[in-house]
Amino acid sequence: MVVHLPTLSPLGASPLRRGDVPDAQWNDWRWQLGHMLTSPEELARVVALSPEETEGLAASASLFRVGLTPYYASLMDPVHATCPIRMQAIPRALEADIREEELRDPLGEDSHMPAPSIVHKYPDRVLFLVVDRCGIYCRHCNRRRLVGGDEPPTTSELDAGLEYIARTPRIRDVLLSGGDPLLLSTRRLSHLLRRLRAIPHVETIRIGTRLPVVCPMRIDDELVAALREFHPLFINTHFNHVKELTPEARAGCERLVDGGIPVGNQTVLLRGINSSVRSLRALMRGLLRSRVRPYYLFQGDTVIGTDHLRTPIETAMELYRGLRGWMNSMAVPMLVMDAPGGHGKVPLVPSYLESIDEHEVVVTTYRGVRVAYPQPRERDCTVPYDAIQFAGEPPDDDREGSRE
């Protein structure tokens, strides 16, 4: 078989392929973000576009933008269109097939915004949308209505978000997201984190980012040194396939961990991309080797144009069965569905429980063996010392999100 690879950059065009770019530029995260591939012509210079991809790029042009770093593009198989990197970054024509049940805002975020840039769905934590750009515009993105770099949050909107957090004492945790917060300059990000840290009731700060996956050069010593000032601080990243766990990506994650910043991972279950036991096991084991804790395995959200990427729930649960018990439990994420309409995350755990009464519980192990567990005779589970330990403390304020 003769394989026809893409040709080198045409005269006058910016070089985009790894072999055409000097190391100093390639390893500069600003260069990577300034040279994102956004057009069919640019993509055709690094991969041999299939007819389906070409049709998809044309069909989805008015729906959701295309964009990925040259680094992430370099991970794409230049020949096989079923490459999991290509399927996450390059649209298919089916993306334009919008179903009646699909939602523009599948997580109900717009109805839980008590202040600009703030989503407050859960009692003790908020989502703070601080930027609207990404290092890749994933084809499964559940926030495609917001991201794209067209309407970034203004300084006054960010100030209003910070003011809401400051006047709402039940908020203990703030998750910075967007877009990708690590696209902010280190100076601007530090300024934002410093203001959050000045709020006494904010206990933990998290940053959701895909840059360790698509632009690991961003995780440099300057960034890590800046983030270390704001402990306890956590990073949640988003690897979907073991092909993304390159030496550069692993080094970025390990640099964060060496800086005392725990790193967790949220994977989206994507049909035909990672929807096999073998693929998921390889990813989760690879994450642990990189000192990244698998956190969530998400059932695909019902966002417009993504029906072709979603996996049936029963298949998702069977895939989870192929992880639980067969691997180190630290490598097994929690399988969840974000209930459409903003109703929060729901675990999708297959039942291993066959029967239960006051005397005995019968379970089926991961290998299919039935085992009986005797129930304890005593049933009262009151903790008497709670009255002493928590004397004078008010109960948790468990009102739903922004409902006052």
- Count Cβ atoms below 10 Å from residue 32 Cβ, excluding itself: 24
Torsional class of 396: left (φ above 0), alpha (ψ -120 to 50), beta (otherwise): beta
- Per-residue pLDDT for 297 more than 70? yes
Domain boundary among 347, 366, 384: 347
Residue 75 and residue 170 share a domain: no
Residue 194 and residue 148 share a domain: yes
Cβ-proximal residues to 303 (8 Å cutoff; 6+ apart), any chain: 102, 103, 104, 106, 140, 141, 142, 144
pLDDT digits (tens, 9 = 90+) for 146-157: 787 677 899 999
Residue 118 and residue 205 share a domain: yes
CA distance 70 to 72: 6
Residue 271 and residue 306 share a domain: yes
pLDDT at position 211: 98
Does 387 fall in a domain?
no
Residue 60 and residue 189 share a domain: no
Residue 173 and residue 90 share a domain: no
Does 324 fall in a domain?
yes
- Per-residue pLDDT for 234 more than 90? yes
Residue 327 and residue 270 share a domain: yes
355 beta partners? 362
pLDDT digits (tens, 9 = 90+) for 189-223: 999 999 999 999 999 999 999 999 999 999 999 99
| Total of domains in the chain | 2
Residue 225 and residue 147 share a domain: yes
> Residue for token digits 């956590």?
234
Does 170 fall in a domain?
yes
Average pLDDT over residues 325-330: 94
Residue 138 and residue 171 share a domain: yes
Does 102 fall in a domain?
no
> Domain holding 152: CATH number?
3.20.20.70
The domain containing residue 53 runs over which residues? 18-96
Residue 175 and residue 33 share a domain: no
pLDDT digits (tens, 9 = 90+) for 136-183: 999 888 887 778 767 789 999 999 999 999 999 999 999 999 899 999
When pLDDT is cut at 50, 70 and 90, the band that residue 348 belongs to is: very high
CA distance 8 to 121: 49
Residue type, 103: L
Residue 274 and residue 215 share a domain: yes
Does 370 fall in a domain?
no
Does 115 fall in a domain?
yes
367 beta partners? none
- Per-residue pLDDT for 108 more than 80? no
Domain boundary among 49, 74, 96: 96
Looking at the chain, the whole-number percentage of residues with pLDDT higher than 90 is: 75
Q: What is the mean pLDDT of the chain?
A: 91
Residue 115 and residue 89 share a domain: no
pTM score, whole prediction: 0.90
Domain boundary among 347, 364, 398: 347
C-alpha distances in Å from residue 31, one per residue of 23, 70, 252, 287: 11, 9, 17, 27
pLDDT at position 404: 53
